Chains A and B, each alone.
Chain A
């Protein structure tokens, strides 16, 4: 049961343009969402997060949007740079309740972003 899905395995974008990475989830218990970036031969690094009480969070070139009713979130990168080329994982967690899901990150399959110069 894939509770977090990234339906686009890859995305190719021209430098300077916007990159939009999408993620859908099914578990309504998730209350905190994160994006991680992963370069080859390195571990994932935390990029940006959003609480379920918000619909937008911005950090420099990166903005995450959350649509709770649609159970959908997206990551916007503007402007895209060649150094942004990496695998992007969306992840979700039950952060504010106990139970068996607490503390466990559920990841999507990842989207390979390639930014062309």
Chain B
């Protein structure tokens, strides 16, 4: 089985721009979660989608949004980028909700200049 695929792997943006990150979960997995990893804050939960519906959201400003498509693929968007948004954004999938046993992609490394 192919793993979780995230694109792009690396990107550089400037303050004020917006960015869209994409995630293709493992085939058959219906739950997709997003996490932000920074050196100071560790891994922080952004949101979780299941069956195209956002089921849970972390403590991030409204500039962070996401969606899930009918094929379970997911995208997250960050608008009006700030320097502090520089981070590794990790997508994870699982066949069901609530077990915590997630399969992570390699992440999208975002640098905001």
Contact = CB atoms under 8 A, between A and B. Distances in A.
Asked if chains A and B come from one complex, the reply is yes
Interface of A: 32, 34, 36, 41-46, 49, 89, 91-96, 100-110
Nearest to A93: B100
B92 A43 contact: yes
Contacts of A106: 45
B54 to A, nearest CB: 11
A110 B38 CA distance: 11
Nearest to A110: B42
B101 A43 contact: no
Interface residues of B, number: 27
Interface of B: 4, 31, 33, 35, 41-45, 48, 50, 55-56, 58, 90, 92, 97-107
Contacts of B55: 102-103
Given A43-B4, A44-B43, A107-B44, A102 B98 contact: yes
A82 to B, nearest CB: 22
Contacts of A34: 100-101
A46 B42 contact: no
Given A44-B43, A100-B56, A104-B48, 15 more contacts: A34-B100, A41-B106, A43-B107, A46-B101, A91-B43, A93-B98, A94-B98, A101-B56, A103-B50, A103-B98, A105-B102, A107-B35, A107-B45, A108-B42, A109-B41
Given A42-B106, A104-B58, A95 B100 contact: yes
Contacts of A94: 98
Contact of A43 (B44, B99, B106): B106
A31 B13 CA distance: 40
Contacts of B107: 43
